[in-house]
Structure 1
Amino acid sequence: MELLLQGLGNVLQPSILILIVCGVLAGIIIGSLPGLTATMGVALFLPITFGMEAVSGILLLIGIYFGSIYGGSITAILLNTPGTPASAATSLDGYPLTKAGKAGKALGIAAIASTTGGLISVISLILIAPQLAQVALVFSAPEMFGLAIFGLSIISSIAGKSVIKGLIVGMVGLLIATVGMDPMTSYPRFTFDQLSLLNGVSFIPVMIGLFAVSEALITMEDEIGKKNRLDKIVANYVLPKWRELRILWGTIIRSGFIGTFIGIVPGAGADIAAFVSYNEAKRFAKKDEKDSFGKGNPKGVAAAEAANSGLTGGAMVPLLTLGIPGDAVTAVLLGALVVQGIQPGPQLFVTSGALVYTLFAGMIIANLVMLAFGLRGIRLFTKVLKVPKSFLAPIIIVFSTIGAYAISNNYFDVFVMLVAGVIGYFMKKFDFPASPIVLALILGPMAESEMRRALIMSDGSYSIFFTRPISLTLIILAVLSLFLPIILGHLKNRKAA
């Protein structure tokens, strides 16, 4: 406790505090732009930190990390355009709330849930980092395969009105995920001699196309047909009331812990945490409330945002205690720490205890700064809804194009984004959900590579997945998660009949 108070005193120095504020603000801006992920934001600012003191430089990058994870929710809620993959789940209920004239309320819930989830993860990091890291060490290929399958099973919950359509779209996503180099043998698959396909189809351009470009195309169509489908949207500043937040606290706290645990597992990202928590929020909801998910249920926004921010502190656990990055962003942070002469690992808490607790205090401050920006910025954020749709749609397409190109400076990604946008346009017309294809593209490669590694470990025996407790538990949960909505829907139809 003494070290934490000492670290808090260090962080409250004006120079460091200003860097945290600037980092969070820059992160929010980066996160809200489609295609500019948290990883890109941290990597972009990394060279700037080389001339700084260790604490100052690392806290600037942490501020960008936290801010960008939250920033993706702004455009996801207002424009159905997730700024980052982590906010794809937020748009499922966030955008319907905006269409219902509750944009300010949705943004307020997102800010409060993100901050709470982030604080839960940081407090967990402070209290039980070494113990939590031991859990992560248990995860090997079979457990990672079980986690991926559990994530894929959520497709049935986010499928919308038709589970069959959701499963079809999910299968298409899994097929697309097989394009590129074989993860074990590096043999080209389904590339049709196109060099651009050797690395597979990046899910970020696909996500931008399915959510952002398709929405822009529909908006343009409605403007031409003078349907004005968004006329009823009102830019408001109505924050969620205490009685509404009281209903959400259970969901927020549970999702914060889910995000923290998933963050501890190396390789699992904020997008996985958000979708898993969204599914759990729906599972824990009352019977008469389940059908409102995907139509503007505040719990959907709260669950997704608490989880993806909860992952941030969780991902720092293996980084600081074992020297293993929890996700892509912490891989960049690992490089930043090493450049500053700090070697993460079990000895870090012994040799550099004061510095570690200063980072912990900085993470707490970064989350509080994020809350301040999130709540005070709602009035500014919602002004985007006043922009005429005839101007807004082309602007979305331009930013989407820039974001897709910026991923790897490759025009092929722009082509993928545009094709995905056209496909997403027709999917919206025929009520096919877009989220399952993105989830499949994220988890498909992980499921395939981890399954094959597990089979190599067991000399080709599939029993390895059922003899290890954690992997067996995850597979059982996956089966229940996949078929339970189908069974409940069938029983509901029988009861209605």
Structure 2
Amino acid sequence: MDILNFMVEVFNFTNILWLIIGATVGVILGAIPGLSADTGIAIFLPITFNLEPITGLITLGAIYVTASYGGNITAVLVNTPGTSDSLFMVFDGYPMTLRGEGLRAIGITTWSAFIGGIIGSLALLFTAPPLARIAVKFGPWELFLTTMMGIVIIIGLSKDGMLKGLLSASFGFLCSLIGVDGITGSTRFSFGIDAIYDGLPLLPVVLGMFAVSQVFELVTEKRDTIVIDKNAMRGSVFLSLKDHASMLINNLRSAIIGTIVGIIPAAGTTVAAGISYNIAKRTDPHPETFGKGNEQGLACVSAANNAVVGGSLVPLLTLGIPGNGTSALFLGGLIIHGLCPGTELFTRDASIVYGLFAGLIAAQFFILLFGLFGAPLYSRVTRIPKSILVPIIASFCVLGAYSGRFLCFDMYLILFFGVIGYYMVKANFPLAPFVLAFVLGRNSEIQFRRAIMLMQYNFTGIFFRPLSLVLLSIVIIMLVSPLWGDIKSLAKKCSVFCFDNSRTRKDS
């Protein structure tokens, strides 16, 4: 009952006002390529210093929640992920827009993000301490296996064109190796270029591969707007009960996956979205439609991404361990208000922490507000003539790349990867394996090398750790399942061949 009172008392005029400000800023920053929740929280940290602790944390929480959603809008409508969290949105969201179903795509990503966010926030509210105790047991080997779950998804995404998919992934791994070695501290593959001394920055690479390559694509295509028919924006953001029912299981499963992955430090939205997407593809009756505008594919990624927000705050609030970069900034917000993460936070400062939970849940409703009622306005972007839209997108992409490190080199880098991405698309090389390998490659390498050093190159220890065995089993299942149909077909052909040979020898 005390928890409910804490949560109700939060909603006074001042807190609601700052909640609205935080949610609005989050959506805008999330939708602008190159900006993200990190940017918003970093800007608002000094502003919230003079606010009451609960007011300041609610503001930062609203920015975190809505910025994770804001990138979905540009990813769906113009194939430009506003944040790195929205990478998987372009696979099925943008093809729906090209079919004239942009409004419906926004409706799907909005409702799914809302469901995922609510489940992640409720998990944070009710299960934070016990789940955090499990997260503590994740050592380098377990973190490596968790990252491998995201990497083996490459096989599922590349099954129809395995060779090209693996080549794309290999290029991504090579790019992830550039920079300072995470173990020895030595520089590798930087070729004497100071700007990539510590590695290739994520935003210029991702924006180049997806956004700038799409700009080149729009320039070369013979059409005036993104949607071929200006009057073809069919559907509605308000989905029917039948639509909600068909996506419910997918959304719930993806939200649970996102929450669990968010709790694991350093896993992040890429792993959560990848695992959810792979499972949804395998369980769908028409897996061949994924990547071509499948609604279930868009829904599962949206739900998983927003569920990660609540999950990432579990180890932060209970143990002081940030689940990702954004929650690390959020830790700064706790510290400047004199709050110490841990068990005492839930006892000594219970009114503040449960008020924060109430603010996170309330922020999820702003996703519905901005998504459902702003969709008709957003959809007009697809009707803007290319002569106007292309320079705007290109400018935002270049400025977004520059804003990350304020280096002119990054503006050249985004153009370089834009050209590579354009020709990869023209040659039917999938971009998804490249991005997955690039995002997860360095972390998986570091965790693997840490694990083998701690085990002194003796791998027998992993068989005596139940958590390792469970994760290893999941990785093996995910590795084999995309090829299971081919394996069964090959086994059947071998058995038929052996049976025919035995009959021939017997007859002779």
Q: TM-score interval w.r.t. the shorter chain?
A: over 0.9
Letter in 2 for 1:266: P
Q: Flag the 1:465–1:410 CA change in 2: closer, same or farther, 3 A.
A: farther
Provide the rounded CA distance (Å) in 1 between the counterparts of 2:299 and 2:256: 13
Letter in 1 for 2:384: V
Letter in 2 for 1:290: P
Partner of 1:323: 320
Q: Deviations over 1:419-450 (max 9, x none)?
A: 11000100110111111111111111111111
> Tell me, which stretches of 5 or more residues in structure 2 are unaligned?
493-508
Match of 2:295 among 295, 298, 306: 298
Q: What displacement does 1:85 show?
A: 1.0
Partner of 2:475: 478
Conservation of the 8 A alpha-carbon contact between 1:264 and 1:318: yes
1:313 aligns with 2:288: no
SS in 1 for 2:459: coil
Conservation of the 8 A alpha-carbon contact between 2:110 and 2:368: yes
Q: Deviations over 1:191-231 (max 9, x none)?
A: 112211211112221110111000110100114xx587741
Provide the rounded CA distance (Å) in 1 between the counterparts of 2:129 and 2:159: 40
Provide the rounded CA distance (Å) in 1 between the counterparts of 2:461 and 2:226: 53
Letter in 2 for 1:279: N
Partner of 1:398: 395
Provide the rounded CA distance (Å) in 2 between the counterparts of 1:90 and 1:413: 24
Provide the rounded CA distance (Å) in 2 between the counterparts of 1:100 and 1:489: 32
TM alignment of 1:118-267, pairs within 5 A: 118-159=117-158, 161-223=160-222, 230-232=227-229, 234-236=232-234, 238-239=236-237, 240-267=239-266
Q: Deviations over 1:34-76 (max 9, x none)?
A: 1112212211221211111111111111111111100110011
Conservation of the 8 A alpha-carbon contact between 1:146 and 1:472: no
Conservation of the 8 A alpha-carbon contact between 1:8 and 1:362: no
TM alignment of 1:394-473, pairs within 5 A: 394-473=391-470
CA RMSD of aligned residues (A): 2.0
SS in 2 for 1:377: helix
Q: Identity over aligned residues, as a percent?
A: 38
Q: Flag the 1:237–1:373 CA change in 2: closer, same or farther, 3 A.
A: farther
- Aligned residue pairs total 491
Q: Deviations over 1:286-345 (max 9, x none)?
A: 3xx211111111111111010010000111111111111111111111111110111111
Provide the rounded CA distance (Å) in 1 between the counterparts of 2:406 and 2:278: 35
Provide the rounded CA distance (Å) in 2 between the counterparts of 1:435 and 1:349: 41
Partner of 1:57: 56
Letter in 1 for 2:301: A
Partner of 1:277: 276
Conservation of the 8 A alpha-carbon contact between 2:225 and 2:385: no
> Tell me, which stretches of 5 or more residues in structure 1 are unaligned?
none
Letter in 2 for 1:79: V
Conservation of the 8 A alpha-carbon contact between 1:33 and 1:399: yes
Provide the rounded CA distance (Å) in 2 between the counterparts of 1:157 and 1:351: 48
SS in 2 for 1:35: coil
1:67 aligns with 2:72: no
Provide the rounded CA distance (Å) in 2 between the counterparts of 1:376 and 1:111: 11
Provide the rounded CA distance (Å) in 1 between the counterparts of 2:403 and 2:13: 34
Letter in 1 for 2:212: V
Conservation of the 8 A alpha-carbon contact between 1:266 and 1:326: yes
SS in 2 for 1:114: helix
TM-score, L = length of structure 2: 0.93
Q: Flag the 1:228–1:83 CA change in 2: closer, same or farther, 3 A.
A: closer
Conservation of the 8 A alpha-carbon contact between 2:224 and 2:386: no
SS in 2 for 1:3: helix
Q: What displacement does 1:18 show?
A: 1.5
Conservation of the 8 A alpha-carbon contact between 1:33 and 1:72: yes
Q: Deviations over 1:334-357 (max 9, x none)?
A: 111110111111211111111111
Letter in 2 for 1:303: C
Q: What displacement does 1:165 show?
A: 1.3
Partner of 1:13: 12
Deviates most, 197-206 or 475-484: 475-484
1:360 aligns with 2:357: yes
Conservation of the 8 A alpha-carbon contact between 1:4 and 1:361: no
Q: What displacement does 1:476 show?
A: 3.3
Partner of 1:268: 267
1:4 aligns with 2:1: no
Conservation of the 8 A alpha-carbon contact between 1:188 and 1:198: yes
Q: Which has the larger radius of gyration?
A: 2
TM-score, L = length of structure 1: 0.95
Q: Flag the 1:251–1:448 CA change in 2: closer, same or farther, 3 A.
A: same
Q: Flag the 1:396–1:465 CA change in 2: closer, same or farther, 3 A.
A: farther
Provide the rounded CA distance (Å) in 1 between the counterparts of 2:413 and 2:461: 38
Provide the rounded CA distance (Å) in 2 between the counterparts of 1:64 and 1:245: 27
Q: Flag the 1:420–1:467 CA change in 2: closer, same or farther, 3 A.
A: farther
1:375 aligns with 2:379: no
Deviates most, 481-490 or 445-454: 481-490
Provide the rounded CA distance (Å) in 2 between the counterparts of 1:181 and 1:341: 35
Conservation of the 8 A alpha-carbon contact between 1:4 and 1:360: no
Provide the rounded CA distance (Å) in 2 between the counterparts of 1:39 and 1:339: 17
Provide the rounded CA distance (Å) in 2 between the counterparts of 1:431 and 1:160: 13
Q: What displacement does 1:489 show?
A: 5.4
Letter in 2 for 1:368: F
Letter in 1 for 2:349: S
Q: What displacement does 1:379 show?
A: 0.7
Provide the rounded CA distance (Å) in 2 between the counterparts of 1:317 and 1:102: 37
SS in 1 for 2:228: coil
Q: What displacement does 1:148 show?
A: 1.0
